Amino acid sequence: MATNIDDNRPQVMIVGAGLGGVTLALLLERANVPYALFERAAQVKPLGSAISLGVGVIPMFKQIGLFDEFMANSKAHLVTRRFNEEREQYGVLDWRLMEEFGGYYNRIISRPVLYDMLLRQIPQHKIFLSKRVLSMTQDDERVIIQTSDNQRHEGDILVGADGAYSGVRQNLYRQMKQDGNLPASDVGDLPYSCTCLVGQTRPLDPEEFPEILEEECSFRSLFGDARPYTHHLNKISAKSHDAFRNSEWGPEAAEQMCKEVRDFPVPGGNGKLVFGDLINRTPKEYISKVMLEEKLFETWFGGRTVLLGDGK
């Protein structure tokens, strides 16, 4: 009797429905590899502002059949301009040579738009929400995850794409540490030393913001002399402490940080813009406070488990 080729393909379980997890799911979908995507949240809520993608990623959109849609929703990112607190330009990073090296200019796109573009390609019956991973076990044949709704799920390969505090990684590292296979550099806490606000405004009026009519992306960075434009944490805050993390990253924390930075100057527009002008044009649900971690992990796989996004 002939055997269906799908019978020999691995069953992949992806934990985490962020950009990384959704992109992997879509690649597996196009390759006809069976998979399931598990997300701890009850609903998918794309956050963030924009993301710049380079020549190493852009060809993927041709591979998955979304190149035209990606190009239509993105802009060429040719230069990054630096400004001081007086909104005076003092430096430029030129990215035009990227086309010569890789065939494409860097492109910048709204993270929510990119996320929605990818997510729409994933069949809904392959996405499982409210599935927080509590534990995982694996052997030479299978890998099993236990989720917070008291369900067990089995597969051939487990991919942890669930962020900096990955439940998959914590379980894998715990097992490897017990077996004496975890490098010392991967044992310590995950440090971070600064936080930032990210968000996306409502559509802006071109008369107030003529830059948005330009064909190329206007990417601008402003550096303060007397005050930081990222919020740096002290040594106590930088420790990996669950109580601190849980209390600092909710909507109230983002709102408080908005109040602290409202008067920061912003280049562009009428030349008198401050950060508060952008905050006023941004729905609260699209503003989030995030931490920037400062650690790369040596261990990115073990047995039948792979970690996405944290390898050196």
Q: State how far the Cα of 47 lies from the Cα of 209, in Å rounded to an integer.
A: 23
Place of tokens 């998955």: 64
Residue with tokens 């799920």: 153
Q: Is 234 helix (H, G, I), strand (E, B) or coil?
A: coil
pLDDT the model gives residue 242: 45
Q: How far apart, in whole angstroms, are the C-alpha atoms of residue 22 and residue 25? A: 5
| pLDDT band for position 61 (cuts 50, 70, 90) | very high
pLDDT at 303: 93
Please say whether the beta carbons of 105 and 76 come within 8 A: yes
Considering the chain, what percentage of its residues have pLDDT values greater than 90? Answer: 42
**Taking the domains of the chain in order of start, what are their residue ranges?**
5-44+129-187+296-307, 192-216+223-293
Average pLDDT in the chain: 83
- Among 136, 202, 143, smallest CA distance to 173 is for 136
Report pLDDT digits (tens) over 241-284: 444 444 444 567 788 888 888 998 888 888 888 999 999 999 88
Mean pLDDT of 88-113: 87
pLDDT at 185: 84
Find how far residue 211's CA is from the centre of its chain: 26
Position 35: which residue type?
Y
Place of tokens 């990417």: 219
Query: Residue 115: which of 184, 183, 48, 30 has the closest Cα?
Result: 48
Work out the burial of residue 289: count CB atoms within 10 Å of its CB; fewer than 13 is exposed, 13-18 middle, 19 or more buried.
buried
Neighbours of 62 (CB within 10 A): 11
Question: With bands split at pLDDT 50, 70 and 90, how would you rate the model's confidence at 228?
Answer: low
Q: What gap in Å lies between CA 312 and CA 307, rounded to an integer?
A: 11
pLDDT at residue 122 greater than cutoff 90: yes
- Residue 223: name the closest of 275, 265, 280, 279 by CA: 265
Could you tell me the fold of the domain covering 5-44+129-187+296-307? FAD/NAD(P)-binding domain (3.50.50)
pLDDT in tens, 174-217: 999 999 989 988 887 666 667 778 888 888 888 888 888 888 88
Q: What is the pLDDT of residue 298?
A: 85
Q: How many CA atoms are closer than 13 Å to the CA of 183, on its beta-carbon side?
A: 9
d(CA 62, CA 43): 29
Closest CA relative to residue 219, chosen from 46, 47, 76: 76
* Rounded Cα gap, residues 53 and 46, in angstroms: 18
